[in-house]
């Protein structure tokens, strides 16, 4: 169980002007190591019907707000699952997602 929700992301984070990882592959935002109590905090409308991960519209996570490559935010940032926490600015997953959106690597 996470000790406490994360604070809001730093407004200078490159993620706030990207969001590519949240709109890349509907199978990616899956749950794996999260504690059931943590998952229960995520609004049900943002969870896949089978409970396996975040719900998406096409390849876009339903928790993402804004426009990819312009200004984005996760509407449940402090509650986001482990797979989202593991994707860091400039890592391999980040740069694969950015490439799929025609963006340069960090």
The predicted model scores a pTM of 0.86
Residue 66 zone, left/alpha/beta (φ > 0; ψ -120 to 50; rest): left
For residue 28, the model assigns a pLDDT of 86
The Cα–Cα gap between 43 and 9 comes to 20
pLDDT of 13 reads 82
Q: In this predicted structure, what is the pLDDT of residue 40?
A: 96
Chain segment 19-74, per-residue pLDDT in tens: 999 999 999 899 998 999 999 999 999 999 999 999 999 999 999 999 999 999 99
Over residues 6-21, mean pLDDT: 76
């Amino acid at each position: 169980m996470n000790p406490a929700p994360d604070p809001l992301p730093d407004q200078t984070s490159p993620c706030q002007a990207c969001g590519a990882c949240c709109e890349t592959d509907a199978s990616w935002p899956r749950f794996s190591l999260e504690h059931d109590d943590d998952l229960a905090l995520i609004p049900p409308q943002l969870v896949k019907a089978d409970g396996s991960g975040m719900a998406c519209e096409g390849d876009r996570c339903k928790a993402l707000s804004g426009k990819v490559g312009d200004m984005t935010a996760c509407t449940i940032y402090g509650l986001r699952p482990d797979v989202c926490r593991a994707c860091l600015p400039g890592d391999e997953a980040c740069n694969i997602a950015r490439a799929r959106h025609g963006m340069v690597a960090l």
